[in-house]
Amino acid sequence: MWESEKIEDSYRKRAIIDGQEEVLEVLDTSGEEEFSTMQDLWIRKENGFLLVYSITSKQSFDRVEQIFEKICAVKEEEMHQVVIVLAGNKCDLPERREVSTQDAKVAAERWAKSGAFVSFYETSAKAKSTMKSAFLNLFAS
């Protein structure tokens, strides 16, 4: 799906959205601490965020909660301009689930109270289930 060049930790892809060509830039930190010093800069620059956790890892869910808090701290009064998609990946592995759908929905509802537009998806990158919808929702909002 992402057949474009890799620039350090980011990927770029051209896509047609609502009949208009857009460039999607994906910054994949994989939750790595080594990127935490750059997060404020990246957050300040953007208004759309796809926060992905694994439904098989409570730790990854806790990490996206921390990233959301950081977005709130950096964006402050601009939160009404922010679009956040919360995506629980690996829904093709329900037997290994550590994060319930309900817990994620509650988090998304709580996040929406910040003023941001927040949506929630359960996805499977392996099965290519709802991934495109999650990405495109960043632009539709």
Q: Which residue has the higher pLDDT, 106 or 45?
A: 106
**Domains of the chain and CATH, by start:** 6-140 (3.40.50.300)
The 10s digit of each residue's pLDDT in 46-66 is 888 889 999 999 999 999 999
pLDDT at 127: 77
pLDDT at 24: 73
pTM of the model: 0.81
Residue 21 buriedness (CB in 10 A; 0-12 / 13-18 / 19+):
exposed
Percentage of residues of the chain with pLDDT beyond 70: 79
pLDDT at 5: 38
pLDDT at 13: 75
H/E element holding 37? helix 36-45
Distance in angstroms (rounded) separating the CA atoms of residues 4 and 6: 7
H/E element holding 72? helix 58-75
